[in-house]
Chain A
Amino acid sequence: MLSCKQVATIASDYLDKSTPLKWQIRLHLLMCANCRRFVRHMKITRELSKQMVLNKTADDVDTIWNKVQQRIKQDSQSD
């Protein structure tokens, strides 16, 4: 049977459905309350992350666009 350390090491793969050890993990989870909690917490963390919004850039689109245009001009002059 898998150890708790092994389950903790591959918990992401289990949640991402990318481990061939799915049934061994399930068997372990049936018997181990700590690992059930650990995997549940990881699942919550993953769900929370899905809804996170990255910090937006301080520059507005016009400023960025103008800088890009300037660089394109510079590049074409140096070509």
Chain B
Amino acid sequence: MENILEVHEVTKKYSATHALRGVSVTLGAGKITGLLGSNGSGKSTLMKIIAGLTHPTSGSVAVLGGPVGPASKAVVSFMPDRPLTESWMSVGDALKFQRAFYPDFDPDKAQRMLEFMKLKEKDKVNTLSKGMNERLQLTMVLSRRARLYLLDEPIGGVDPVARTRILDALVEFYEEDSTILLSTHMVSDIERIFDDVIFLKEGEVIMHSEVDELRLRHGKSIDELFREVYAEC
């Protein structure tokens, strides 16, 4: 099967510190992969490199076999850790922007997602609660018919009810031939939706494995393994 994403020996240095060291990751189609790591482990940096917002110091990234650039950005839908919206926008404006920027934006899917998320087009972005705002960001990103979705901490800082709604939306609106890379440090709430997980620690990949295999081998939840791996940090 064609690989959606190939990250090869990527290193990123910010002046004196290494954000990533020799990271190699390959993702096939139709998988939901958790990118797990504590704060500062390099999750956001890796996502930004794949999305083409920053360049690696060395190493290479290929999306659908091609380099990161306009062609890859057309098939990669990125939800960064900061809002994609401006404060003056309404929910409707936000979706119009997304539609204008990306030809793969699917207005029907956006409408279904709005309904599912209980968002209204006339709602003003700056009046939305944090949880509702996360729902809007996710709607914007998942309404594109992309091949690779990069979701940076989509459940960060939202209450458990909003979190459940966001996870349900992911399962409900996930296209089975696409790939999701989702970063989080809150593992227990979300581990039931992963196919596999990548553990990133101090800029290095220390494990990439299928979740049910890990549970079978260790008799432990991914959350418990996560806590063990990061305990000595």
Q: Do A and B bind each other?
A: no
A binding-site residues for B, Cβ under 8 Å: none
